[in-house]
Copies of this chain bind each other. A is one copy, B any other.
């Protein structure tokens, strides 16, 4: 993983690939790599869809190695949705494949010439670029079907659907899973639109000729990785909750806590939540033919939180929808039908859309009266409108903030233009601090304070009190920025936050891979360095304290059942980046 692939889409005669040594970017992976490149090479005042923006795809530091659960890949750019710097990551098989082929980053850059779409093929022989207008405006599952006869099912594909080609602000980049389905998505921030603006439809990565990356200290590596795996298996969340129920184990928990945003964030508890629970979802997957509740999104995953969701007749419906998807399309829209939600999840993946942004957008459209709350068929039709790019689809495909603007509404649950995820900031105030202050626009993964607020993992901070939330969010944001660089799945955080020895094992695994002697402090320093670059980029792009706020109505309108508003003081919010 010592080289960088640059694809200049503005080269005369068509896109041109060049390889270079990793150089100054050595030591960076995942989010650390994407942020470093965007920070150094992209002018903060550029238009996200203009020639000066770049799309950086980077495997995590540990990807392609034998380290467990290390298959996360980061994508970075200036975001068309938020206007901030953006890092969006996904599992799937792409990260391991790119890493095994030695690529620390693939950078799409330059000014697209004309309207042709291109396919990039990367294997151990090098890189080829092909005009691929026959793939134009194919949705992701159709694209994969078309690529299968050409490339087989063992390759990894990184692709955009129709939304990305139409440069919609809510468009994702898909990564194929072990079953060669386009189910893992760098969803947030409209990164797919940047790929679309570069005229690249897909990147086919064939690592069949490449080997697992070798650690510098192989025996020690094996030992520390073993301890790491033991720790993951021992923790209740990573060892039991996630494998058994997936992320949707959270529905009952958040609903019980009164932090489950319902009807476009009008209430904090959904009366039909039991119909959306992870327990019921797992039951469906267990009982239905072809269903699979415990499944890894890439080889080498220990946590196995993903799954395969089939209908009553055993037909494939979608991957197991995540908690945030079940919420955004479910309770937030007053829809309590898991099968309808699986269909929506499939369509989001198919057209290439972030499920959180799409669900919240539909909730806004429901409040605007476009369709009624609870109308599952209507919601499915709306996603088709987006995939087809009708005028209504153009509105919705631009995300929740733009939809609210088009319909003249105040109630847009967004920060920096990005939709709030599945935790109401009024009754889970720590996550509210993260929404407000992260460099990414509203994002739960950027500093998942639900841990200490609700799950009582890594501490215990009352979710309804204002005190301690800023510190909690700060520490989590720093740790997350570092973790997002390693390629380890963020879910390892549950175990490493609670179990010191598991954290130590993780750090040692990295050390033995690279021949380093990092301590926990070095990990913190890395996280801080990344956040500082991101913050500086955003400041130059025009973001200041006034943007590190929730929409005012969260401070004005109390949320049932606790009847609380978001009341963490501004000065607390402004203290989060004091490091």
Asked if A405 contacts B169 (CB within 8 A), the reply is yes
Q: Report if A46 contacts B (CB, 8 A).
A: yes
Shortest distance in angstroms between A132's beta carbon and chain B's nearest beta carbon?
20
Q: Which residues of B contact A296 (CB under 8 A)?
A: none
Contacts of A46 in B (CB 8 A): 552
- How many copies of this kind of chain does the complex include? 2
Other-chain residue from B169, B406, B543, B552 in contact with A47 (beta carbon distance below 8 A): B552
Query: In the assembled complex, how far is the CB of residue A99 from the closest CB belonging to chain B, in whole angstroms?
Result: 31
Map CB proximity to B onto A142-171 as digits: 1 under 8 Å, 0 otherwise: 000000000000000000000000111100
What are the interface flags for A515-551 relative to B under an 8 Å C-beta threshold, 1 for contact and 0 otherwise?
0000000000000000000000000111110110101
- Whether A542 lies near B552 (C-beta < 8 A) is no
- Kindly identify which residue among B45, B166, B391, B541 contacts A408, using a CB–CB cutoff of 8 Å: B166
Task: Tell whether, in the assembled complex, residue B540 and residue A546 are in contact, meaning their CB atoms are under 8 Å apart.
Answer: yes
Is B390 a contact partner of A47 (Cβ separation < 8 A)? no
B541, A546: Cβ atoms closer than 8 Å: yes
* A409 adjacent to chain B (CB < 8 Å): yes
Determine whether the beta carbon of A547 is less than 8 Å from that of B542. yes
**Using a CB-CB cutoff of 8 Å, which residues 108-152 of chain A contact chain B?**
none
Q: Number of A residues whose C-beta is below 8 Å from B? A: 43
CA distance A197 to B408 in the complex (A): 8
Residues of B within 8 A of A49 (CB): 408-410
- Chain B residues, CB < 8 A from A542: 543-544, 546-547
Known contacts A52-B552, A541-B546, A551-B47; A394/B410 CB under 8 A: no
Q: Interface digits, A396-425 against B, CB 8 Å rule (1 contact, 0 not)?
A: 011000100111111000000000000000
Provide the bound-state CA to CA distance between A51 and B555, in Å.
13
- Beyond A197-B408, A391-B392, 6 extra complex contacts between A and B, CB < 8 Å: A45-B546, A49-B408, A49-B409, A80-B408, A390-B391, A542-B544
Q: Which B residues lie within 8 Å of A196 (CB)?
A: 408
Listed residue (A51, A197, A546) with the most chain B CB atoms within 10 angstroms of its CB: A546
A500 within 8 A of B: no
> With A and B bound together, what is the CA distance between A166 and B551 in angstroms?
21
When C-beta atoms are compared, the residue in chain B nearest to A171 turns out to be B408
Q: How far is the CB of A554 from chain B (nearest CB, A)?
A: 11
Specify which chain B residues have a CB less than 8 angstroms from the CB of A410 in the assembled complex: 47, 49-50
Encode A10-21 as 1/0 by CB contact (under 8 A) with B: 000000000000
Counting from the closest, the 5 A-B pairs by CB-CB distance are A167-B408, A542-B546, A391-B392, A391-B391, A394-B406
> In whole angstroms, what is the CA distance A255 to B52 when docked?
31
Q: Separation in Å of the A362 CB from the closest CB of chain B? A: 14
Distance from A358 Cβ to chain B, minimum over Cβ atoms (Å): 15
